[in-house]
Chains A and B, each alone.
Chain A
Amino acid sequence: MASFIVRRLFISFFVLLGATFIVYILVSSAGDPRTALLESNDPGKANKIAALTRNLSLDMPVIPRYLNWLKGALGCFIGNCDLGNTSTGAVVTSQLSSAIGATLRLVVFAAVIAIVLGVTVGMITALRQYSGLDYTVTFLSFLFFSLPVFWIAVLMKQFLAIRFNDWLKSPTIPPWATVLIAALVGLSAMALVGGARSRRLAAFAGGALVTVVILVYLNLTQWFAEPGIGVVPMIVMSAVTAVGATALLAGFRGRIVLYATLVTAAVGVICYFALDSVLANPTNLIIFGLLVVALLVSAGIGAAMGGLYRSQAIKACMLTGFGCGALIFTANLLDAVPAYSAEVNGVVIATIGASTPNFQGNYWETWLDTLGHLILPTMAIVLISFAQYTRYTRSSMLEVMNADYIRTARAKGLTERTVVVRHGFRNALIPITTVMAIDFGGLIGGAIITETVFGWSGMGKFFNDALKIPDPNAVMGFFLVTGAAIVVFNMLADITYGFLDPRIRLT
């Protein structure tokens, strides 16, 4: 393993070296950064041109200039990074680090959502192969593949931000929308349940009816004007979280696990009331501390009550504890919406930038501000990656579920849940992990188009602006970070594959 890593690092270093050379030559020949100055009517332009030439060493031939740049870049290994200056004289490294921060905030969030959604949907479609749901999801993922991001982004800005904000000023759900949403929910419930026709019709009716009731209730109580999670919904949703976690991780054969998660949920609901004063205006540190405490307490409940099913109970309780924490967090966020909305003149979902300029608010309002700005670019990125993850998971899951060991697992009488989650899903995840690792490497480079459309000043926009000039040092700084990330994550993908699938030998 060690020799594999060392050799791989060695090769990767030279691969990256070659790539920097190619990019440097191409960028330098793409245009002259002095063009804009040469065409201007600035009286002091001779001086400015001379300064720019000196600053970027434009009087040197390309190859020595590259070697010069390389010398500075190699300094990164000994903690003395020098990637030169941009055409405006700013230091590349400092600009890069702020761009990386902004990009990571955007893409990590988006990648996590895309993975969770994509893997879940992919798994379900694989289990319901050739059903209506499968065909619908297949068509949708092809559609998402074929969508130009910049086009769908403009549509989102118009319909999900501007129109939605307008609607929020007097939020009433028209009857036709109620019927439409109910029908859609009913259809997806029907597709999810599968089985005999009577069962599917019952699922459709149940799903549609519950949706209608919820929507009418939300409408009558003007929920959208003053959102929040009341006491009764809080209790119901915590209980649902407990049951869901049990169903996913342990099944209902050992009743004791269900009791343990329900106790965890009850503790969560009590905490919701008990922590009211602490959560009025907390800090990130307090929230993180509470999360750790919540996970520890849930693990404790699981360990104490689990009995024979101890390890499963601990996991299920921790998931429940996390879910209840998320519910409490959401409840507090929603409570802050009216105040936040008044402060930003009703622009709850923003269309541009990373935060409202000059915005001052308490902890929850700042969170709302960040989320309101994140939601549209995140959706744009999720839409595209979601399609990819769904397809991968589906095909990988199909392959695994047809394997002999799955038949063996069924034959020896395991429950379908155990077969799917323990034997099927875990093995299906192995190839997907590789895709995830490689995807993450690419994400550091930022979503160039998404960032441009939404005015997000991350890596993508940094690259886009730099190439317009074209500014070799800035583009190279961008490429060095992205290229290194891609190389490293590709290597990580290989190593994790070796760990997860012992049949693969890394030599």
Chain B
Amino acid sequence: MSTDEKIEPPSINDAKATAAIQGMSIVARTQGQLVRRRFFRHRAAMISLTILILVILLAYTSIGFAGIPGWWIWDYYTPGLVVNRGAPTLSVWPEFLGGNGFHIGLHPFGQDDLGRDYFALTMRGAQISIMIAFVVGIVSTVIGVIVGALAGYYRGWVESALMRFTDVMITIPLLVIAAVLGQKFGGSGPLVLAIVIGLVLWTGLARLVRGEFLSLREKEFVEAARALGAKPNRIIFRHILPNTVGVITVSATLAVASAILLETALSYLGFGVRPPDTSLGLLVSNYQNAFATRPWLFWWPGLFIITIALTVNFIGDGLRDAFDPRQNRVRA
């Protein structure tokens, strides 16, 4: 941006004076308010957030969850009569364009080869995939923050031990260790699988948080807190951690996005969620050979995977922009 000229920011009094002449008032905003404002003005992130919330609501209310019944008439496990080779009855093509008008029909996403309703199956897959992604995100973030904070704050042998351990974990490719753990724990249900994957996904965040801590612990306000006699616990959690919240939020969001793809990949390879339960990756894996004859069995779960991963990635991008202190202008 060669044409951009750096203009010296006017002093606050000047700004106030100018604002007074123009009949405006200057509002003081906290850091949190600024971040929130910038995030809410990030168009791609807000659209993504809306879509993601809609998808989550659709997945969890339609067929119900944890024993609570949903509003959809079919469930995902009862086989039924296969109607018209199980073709989808969803129609969105309007009549004046030669279509059949908008109607949902009996099985909007079609049926699988056992006659189970494919909308219900896809929703079940989405429920499991979303649940795994969020649990992985939470578990990995908590561990990453703790490891990074301890290593960065205490230095010395604590840092050496924790960081060497992180190095060891980083040496093992993510998909490899996740597949090995999935082979062992995949049969114990999706929640166990999610926690176990979370246990290996924290390495990147731990390094980031440690870096932040290393620079923040030398700052004057930490020195001041220490001089006032604050205990390490208080310094870590009340003084330093709030300053790293941007890095952590962004990283946690991106961890959710990569966890979605990791889970689908594991289930696809057969090391993730096992039948009779299902996930989006497992659905794609089961029906990839049916693509030529019954493509809908393949399209729907894939579209849901992409939608979820894409929206979470965009939200992460919006958060990164919102937390970036160099971005002092609010994006239109």
Interface residues of A (CB under 8 A from B): 11, 14-16, 18-19, 22-23, 26-27, 29-31, 129, 142-143, 145-151, 154, 158, 162, 401-402, 406-407, 410, 442, 445, 448-449, 452, 463-464, 467-468, 470, 475, 478-479, 482-483, 486-487
Determine if B171 and A16 form an interchain contact, defined as CB atoms under 8 angstroms apart.
yes
Determine if B271 and A26 form an interchain contact, defined as CB atoms under 8 angstroms apart.
no
Closest chain-A Cβ to B33's Cβ sits at a distance in Å of: 26
User: Bound state CA distance, A145 and B180, in angstroms?
Assistant: 24
CB-nearest residue of chain A to B166: A15
Query: Given A146-B310, A149-B265, A448-B269, are A31 and B184 also a contact pair (CB < 8 Å)?
Result: yes
Closest chain-A Cβ to B252's Cβ sits at a distance in Å of: 17
B98 at interface, CB cutoff 8 A = no
Query: Given A19-B168, A148-B302, A158-B292, are A445 and B284 also a contact pair (CB < 8 Å)?
Result: no
Determine if B176 and A479 form an interchain contact, defined as CB atoms under 8 angstroms apart.
yes
B1 at interface, CB cutoff 8 A = yes
Q: Chain B residues near A26: list those with CB within 8 A.
A: 177, 180-181, 184
A to B CB contacts below 8 Å, 5 in the list: A11-B167, A15-B171, A26-B177, A148-B309, A445-B173
CB-nearest residue of chain A to B289: A154
User: Bound state CA distance, A442 and B165, in angstroms?
Assistant: 19
6 tightest A-B CB contacts, nearest first: A146-B309, A146-B310, A30-B184, A151-B302, A18-B168, A19-B171
Interface of B (DSSP majority class)? helix
CB-nearest residue of chain A to B48: A142
Query: Given A16-B171, A148-B305, A151-B284, are A129 and B1 also a contact pair (CB < 8 Å)?
Result: yes
B159 at interface, CB cutoff 8 A = no
A to B contact number (C-beta, < 8 Å): 124
Most buried by A among B180, B257, B264, B285: B180
Q: Chain A residues near B57: list those with CB within 8 A.
A: none
Determine if A148 and B171 form an interchain contact, defined as CB atoms under 8 angstroms apart.
no
Chain B positions 267-316 with a Cβ under 8 Å from a chain A Cβ: 268-271, 281, 284-285, 288, 291-292, 298, 302, 305-306, 309-310, 313-314
Closest chain-B Cβ to A31's Cβ sits at a distance in Å of: 6
Most buried by A among B165, B167, B170, B184: B167
Determine if B310 and A31 form an interchain contact, defined as CB atoms under 8 angstroms apart.
no
CB < 8 Å neighbour of B264 from A27, A30, A148, A402: A148
Closest chain-A Cβ to B201's Cβ sits at a distance in Å of: 15
Closest chain-A Cβ to B242's Cβ sits at a distance in Å of: 27
B37 at interface, CB cutoff 8 A = no
B183 at interface, CB cutoff 8 A = yes
Interface of A (DSSP majority class)? helix
User: Bound state CA distance, A145 and B317, in angstroms?
Assistant: 13
Q: Chain B residues near A464: list those with CB within 8 A.
A: 179, 269
Q: Chain A residues near B292: list those with CB within 8 A.
A: 158, 162
Q: Chain A residues near B19: list those with CB within 8 A.
A: none
Cβ proximity bits B151-195 to A, threshold 8 Å, 1 near / 0 not: 000000000000011011111110111011101100000000000
CB < 8 Å neighbour of A449 from B268, B306, B310: B268
Closest chain-A Cβ to B85's Cβ sits at a distance in Å of: 18
Determine if B183 and A470 form an interchain contact, defined as CB atoms under 8 angstroms apart.
yes
Determine if A449 and B269 form an interchain contact, defined as CB atoms under 8 angstroms apart.
yes
Determine if A148 and B291 form an interchain contact, defined as CB atoms under 8 angstroms apart.
no
B2 at interface, CB cutoff 8 A = yes
For chain B, the count of residues having a C-beta within 8 Å of the partner chain is 42
Q: Chain B residues near A482: list those with CB within 8 A.
A: 173, 176
Chain B positions 308-330 with a Cβ under 8 Å from a chain A Cβ: 309-310, 313-314, 317
B225 at interface, CB cutoff 8 A = no
B150 at interface, CB cutoff 8 A = no
Q: Chain A residues near B180: list those with CB within 8 A.
A: 23, 26-27, 30, 467, 470, 475
User: Bound state CA distance, A182 and B317, in angstroms?
Assistant: 33
Closest chain-A Cβ to B202's Cβ sits at a distance in Å of: 15
CB-nearest residue of chain A to B281: A148
Determine if A154 and B184 form an interchain contact, defined as CB atoms under 8 angstroms apart.
no
Determine if B309 and A145 form an interchain contact, defined as CB atoms under 8 angstroms apart.
yes
Query: Given A27-B180, A158-B291, are A148 and B265 also a contact pair (CB < 8 Å)?
Result: yes
Q: Chain A residues near B268: list those with CB within 8 A.
A: 148, 150, 449
User: Bound state CA distance, A30 and B185, in angstroms?
Assistant: 8
User: Bound state CA distance, A470 and B180, in angstroms?
Assistant: 9
CB-nearest residue of chain A to B180: A26
Query: Given A31-B183, A142-B310, are A151 and B265 also a contact pair (CB < 8 Å)?
Result: no
Q: Chain B residues near A475: list those with CB within 8 A.
A: 180
Most buried by A among B169, B179, B291: B179
B261 at interface, CB cutoff 8 A = yes
Determine if A15 and B164 form an interchain contact, defined as CB atoms under 8 angstroms apart.
yes
Query: Given A27-B180, A483-B171, are A468 and B284 also a contact pair (CB < 8 Å)?
Result: no
Query: Given A15-B167, A482-B173, are A146 and B257 also a contact pair (CB < 8 Å)?
Result: yes
